[in-house]
Chains A and B, each alone.
Chain A
């Protein structure tokens, strides 16, 4: 199994560095081939909302930067891990910058899913999504928004399976491993 971790923490976010290492090691120990991209260190252009990736260069963003490569990797992995400091309940701007660039991976045309209108899939297979939110302490409202956001993304990303978990900065190594094991089981069920 191949996993892509999009790490949306900021470069100066030292509080979470050890946690991120622990998560990566946990996955590697389970024979999951992991590639981690630290988005905070990259100059990724923002999506321009031009839709040229649908009607000029179908499936490929017109901006030729690392954001385009990340979009390719998103659809070529079995597992997509969205790792972020929970920011007002949602993702950090660093993670969101990469996610905004993913629309070439779906089609412009509309379809109905669960009674709602969405864009149709471009590919037959999309990765499982796991959202890992980092918080300094428990926050019910933030955690509820985060869980809903990951669920909503799984609909638009055509992930058949998804799950999310929140890790606190003072979680022990044992607790992180327990949470990771649980979220992996949930996402594979």
Chain B
């Protein structure tokens, strides 16, 4: 009897279990569990707080057959602590004689409607895989991630229909050991809501929360402005 394959989900958002990164990863993980995979989940930020050298995380990486890395796009890139974990994995594997050639999939979500803004971040994931002798199977990029706001995708309604389909196709591809289908990449990239609605809603929501916080008149403050000499 074959042992079931083991998938490690690394959730790379500081918001941990409340994050959209977790919602995306969790949905995919459940589909893989339904196809006979074993799974483990690590919240990167929480783990590094208690274990700066990531010893337990590295042990989990070693025992996994495949890795799923989910993260929010921060300044065109992976968040700092996710990069720190990739650095740790790289150092750890660089002293291993024959590191296992695990597969790795990256899933990003950004606060901008255009999923394409995450391309550089996925290029970094791909480069990480090649330098650590892993096999990068692709990067799923979602725009307007804020619209999900960490909701369970099973309960997020029609808005995330394409996201669910993309993750189903991804789970099938992983289970069948096939390349990530183009359909999965394209469906994930489709805007959750029209960009004009997303930006209008976003701008309105920021103002509403600022008003609740009593800072609606300070939103445009420039605390670090240096006055030019007259």
Contact = CB atoms under 8 A, between A and B. Distances in A.
B221 interface: yes
Given A47-B79, A92-B87, A145-B127, A109 B203 contact: yes
A54 B206 contact: yes
A117 B75 contact: no
Contact of A100 (B80, B114, B131): B80
Contacts of B13: 49
A96 B79 CA distance: 7
Contact of A122 (B77, B120, B202, B220): B220
B219 A58 contact: yes
A131 to B, nearest CB: 12
Contacts of A116: 112, 114, 117
Interface string A123-166: 10000000000000000011001001100110010000000000
Contacts of B206: 54-55, 108-109
Contacts, number: 141
Given A55-B210, A75-B224, A108-B206, A156 B80 contact: no
B80 A59 contact: no
Interface residues of A, number: 46
Contacts of B79: 46-47, 49, 96, 100
Given A142-B127, A149-B120, A59 B224 contact: yes
B215 A107 contact: no
B87 A93 contact: yes
Nearest to B84: A93
A88 B91 CA distance: 12
Interface in A52-83: 54-60, 71-72, 75-76
Given A75-B224, A145-B124, A152-B76, A92 B14 contact: no
Given A110-B202, A153-B75, A91 B219 contact: no
B174 to A, nearest CB: 23
A123 B222 CA distance: 7
A99 interface: yes
Interface string B93-128: 000000000000000000011100100100111011
Interface string B192-220: 00010001001100100110010100111
B75 A99 contact: yes
B24 to A, nearest CB: 15
A92 B128 CA distance: 12
Given A117-B199, A122-B222, A96 B83 contact: yes
A49 B195 CA distance: 22
Given A141-B127, A142-B127, A152-B76, A88 B221 contact: no
Interface of A: 46-49, 54-60, 71-72, 75-76, 87-93, 96-97, 99-100, 102-103, 105, 107-110, 116-118, 122-123, 141-142, 145, 148-149, 152-153, 156
